[in-house]
Amino acid sequence: MTTALITGIGGQDGTYLSELLVDLGWAVHGVERPGSTHVTDTQITRHIIDLGEPDAAISLIEATDPDYVFHLAGISSVWRSWNEPVLTTRVNGVSAASLLDACFTHQEASGKRVMVINASSAEIFAGSGERRQDEHTRIAPTSPYGASKALSHTMVQVYRARGLEATNAILFNHESPRRPDTFVTRKITKAAVAIARGTQSTLELGSLTVERDWGWAPDYVAAMLAMARHGTGDDFVVATGQAHSVANFVEAAMSAVGIADWRSYVRGDPDMFRPADSASMIGDASKAHDVLGWKPTKTFSEIVSAMVEFDMTEEMAA
């Protein structure tokens, strides 16, 4: 039986990926932080481990003996990284280095190939000055989050050069109803529903002009599985190639609940403006299309509508 280890299994991508792999008949092991209670699926073997601790990754890889390791764990908020830069570096960068070294050591000792898929990020390109980014774009992070992801990204390349089949999935923004409401997209969709129902009067946001390439999270999880099945370590951008502003997201969410004059409900909050925020991030996923046969399945409006529909159901159930 194929065995997969997923770090960050309780997050948005981790839950979608674990469900996908269980459906495929794989044995799935999931890593959660101490104190986490997210994963309840009895088909998944849980491991409560802090990968930043010395030797924790080595013990984990020896115990699970995985064919595939999907490293999705990490602090995923750029805003939070500015408040906790040291913790972000430890969680996102050091844990990736520990896991890669453990996989390489296990592969060398056992003779069994271990395939590693690392969740890299578009934020490693934030200061590149290029409007569209691909696998050859200059790495130039502008935040502690981006720098921590750049560390994990380059460590993957270092261990790939040593003989580990390690791949960077350079993920651009991807959303779903499972995105925590600490993220601006979910904050917007929940607010749209609440405003439409009269339980909220305004929506406070930072910059409305920032543009992002927003995709559908299950599509991006499917891309990571395709990378694993590809079997050769490489770097792949995963993106839609289309940019939409925060204002576009608000407009789409408000339209989905029947509100046309959305601007009358939005208020600016200077505290929400992030230092050195890149104005536009758009990915070129041509390589993933050509090599992996991957393409996104949902349009921007369909993604926003799916999130709004979920939040409407949640509001009714509350």
Could you confirm whether 265 is annotated as catalytic? no
Q: Which of 76, 120, 123, 251 is catalytic?
A: 123
CB 238 within 8 A of CB 220: yes
Q: Which of 32, 95, 143, 145 is catalytic?
A: 145
Could you confirm whether 220 is annotated as catalytic? no
Q: Which of 18, 81, 120, 121 is catalytic?
A: 121
Could you confirm whether 145 is annotated as catalytic? yes
Catalytic positions, written as ranges: 121, 123, 145
